[in-house]
């Protein structure tokens, strides 16, 4: 499979068309951004780690009944995926307080919730991805009621599978963001699942092994990504 034209260059990935109108090639970059692009940098090796981790995790999810866009890993950084129409919602699941939730609720980070939470942001960089609810999404035609039901069901399933999986790697899945798309009339999981999009803490030391090391200038950013990758046990 060959790249044809650059369709889109985002903050973390480039997306290319192919000869097949239903297939895209995603190329993961080492570029890192935070605070809606205000902070910029490079995390050496991140592109390959995020690509390979996403594909590994997507395979686990497929096996558990969550359909994904994954077709085939083409190289360290490149993967062929089903071209979807992205639903413009960032779906965020949280198991522990952290980040914007901790700030908003006046809580310290790392408090385990009684049950997972789910929230939506409107995927719109100009607006800074504002928090919205299901009714906004319906009123604005961002998704149908049926699509939101499917997305919600899959998002909690992703959480269940990933929580168990990361637990086995001695990691707490604090929270994460996922995106879904429409493909031939079905909702499928798209985009990525990586330390860029998840908060992962070592269960014993509570060390942060994710993009917060970059966002908050905590140091050892590359090492954190490498540590997560090492625990996945893929070579």
81 binds ligand ADP (CB under 6 A): yes
175 binds ligand UDP (CB under 6 A): yes
How far is Cα 28 from Cα 85, in angstroms, rounded to an integer? Answer: 19
Q: Show contacts with ligand UDP in window 190-209 (CB under 6 A).
A: 197-199
Residue 129 contact partner, candidates ligand UDP, ligand ADP, none, CB within 5 to 8 A by sort of partner: ligand UDP
158 binds ligand ADP (CB under 6 A): no
User: Strand, helix or coil at 228?
Assistant: helix
Nearer to ligand ADP, 79 or 97 (CB): 79
Q: Show contacts with ligand ADP in window 31-60 (CB under 6 A).
A: none
Residue ranges of the alpha helices (H) in 14-170?
Answer: 46-63, 99-105, 134-139, 145-168
Q: Give the contacts of 197 (CB within 8 A, at least 6 positions apart).
A: 176, 177, 178, 191, 211
Tokens at 168, concatenated: 């086995």
The residue range among 42-50, 52-60, 94-102, 159-167 that interacts with ligand UDP, by the rule CB under 6 A, is 94-102
Q: Quote the least distance from Cβ 111 to ligand UDP, whole Å.
A: 13
Lookup result for tokens 């039901």: 149
On whether the CB atoms of residues 91 and 151 are closer than 8 A, the answer is yes
Q: Give the contacts of 29 (CB within 8 A, at least 6 positions apart).
A: 12, 13, 14, 46, 47, 77
13 binds ligand ADP (CB under 6 A): yes
Where on the chain is the footprint of ligand UDP (CB under 6 A)?
90, 92, 98-101, 129, 175-177, 197-199, 211
Which residues contribute to the site for ligand ADP (CB under 6 A)?
8, 10-13, 15, 24, 69, 81-84, 86, 179, 181, 190-191
């Amino acid at each position: 499979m060959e790249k044809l034209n650059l369709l889109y260059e985002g903050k973390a990935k480039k997306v290319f068309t192919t000869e097949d109108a239903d297939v895209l090639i995603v190329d993961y970059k080492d570029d890192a951004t935070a605070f809606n692009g205000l902070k910029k940098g490079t995390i050496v090796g991140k592109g390959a780690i995020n690509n390979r981790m996403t594909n590994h995790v997507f395979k686990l999810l497929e096996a558990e009944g969550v359909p994904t866009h994954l077709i085939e890993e083409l190289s360290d950084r490149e993967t062929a995926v089903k071209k979807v129409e992205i639903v413009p919602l960032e779906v965020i699941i949280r198991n522990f307080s952290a980040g914007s939730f901790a700030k908003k609720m006046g809580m310290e980070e790392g408090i385990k919730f009684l049950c997972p939470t789910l929230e939506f942001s409107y995927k719109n960089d100009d607006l800074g991805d504002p928090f919205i609810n299901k009714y906004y999404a319906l009123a604005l035609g961002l998704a149908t009621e049926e699509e939101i039901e499917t997305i919600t069901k899959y998002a909690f399933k992703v959480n269940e599978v990933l929580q168990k999986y990361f637990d086995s790697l001695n990691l707490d899945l604090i929270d994460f963001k996922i995106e879904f798309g429409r493909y031939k009339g079905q909702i499928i999981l798209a985009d990525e699942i990586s330390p860029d999009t998840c908060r992962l803490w070592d269960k014993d030391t509570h060390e942060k092994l994710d993009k917060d090391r970059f966002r908050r200038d905590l140091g050892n950013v590359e090492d954190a990504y490498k540590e997560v990758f090492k625990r996945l046990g893929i070579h």
